[in-house]
């Protein structure tokens, strides 16, 4: 997978994610490792979103499709849930570390691989970004703990790979 848009996720954005979980020092190789993990996570997640959208015979990815992909066994949202999500969307925007425009370009590029001419609602794109950043924060937090366990202050790619493996086993 070689999406040019992955390069738009800048080092400062990745550092903001790392600092949110308390990481002090980051290996120089961690930026490419994080971009690779981000790309593969988004690819798998957006594949599920597109499948839900096609199943509903829609041409626009909605918040319902994103929620259905996040929790496969959960029922689709009601109108009340959608109103709650809309009211929370302003709060979500303030806690995001990755800039919205580069992330949205990346999401659109990945979605176009699965299905051409598929639109994405603004709130759905925001929810995808929020879910992805929460996954990355959980991953970085585990990697930081693994580095601390190894008596190191610097988080290295092997920590991130071990954390990713641990998260897959937990899910």
What domains can you pick out in the chain, each with its CATH number? 4-170 (1.10.20.10)
Cβ 143 vs Cβ 155: under 8 Å: yes
Q: What is the pTM of this model?
A: 0.84
- Asked whether the beta carbons of 23 and 155 are under 8 A apart, the reply is yes
The per-residue pLDDT for range 147-167, each reduced to its tens digit, is: 999 999 999 999 999 999 998
pLDDT of the residue at 88 = 58
170, 160, 110, 171: which is closest to 136 by C-alpha? Answer: 160
Distance CA 9, CA 29 (A): 14
**CA-derived radius of gyration, the chain:** 17
Q: Which pLDDT value is given to residue 94?
A: 62
**Pairwise CA distance, residues 106 & 8, whole Å:** 8
Residues 124 and 89 sit within 8 Å (Cβ to Cβ): no
Sites in the chain below the pLDDT cut of 70: 1-3, 71-94, 171
């Amino acid at each position: 997978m070689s999406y040019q848009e992955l390069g738009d996720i800048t080092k400062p954005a990745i550092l903001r994610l790392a600092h949110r979980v308390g990481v002090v020092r980051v290996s120089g190789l961690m930026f490419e490792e994080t971009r690779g993990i981000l790309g593969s996570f988004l690819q798998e997640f957006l594949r599920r979103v597109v499948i839900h959208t096609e199943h509903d015979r829609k041409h626009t990815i909605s918040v319902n499709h994103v929620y259905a992909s996040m929790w496969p066994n959960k029922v689709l949202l009601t109108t009340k849930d959608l109103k709650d999500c809309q009211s929370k969307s302003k709060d979500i925007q303030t806690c995001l570390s990755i800039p919205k425009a580069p992330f949205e370009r990346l999401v659109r590029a990945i979605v176009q691989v699965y299905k051409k001419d598929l639109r994405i609602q603004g709130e759905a794109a925001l929810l995808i970004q929020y879910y992805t950043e929460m996954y990355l924060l959980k991953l970085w937090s585990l990697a930081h703990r693994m580095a601390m366990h190894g008596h190191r202050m610097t988080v290295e790619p092997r920590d991130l790979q071990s954390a990713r493996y641990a998260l897959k086993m937990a899910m």
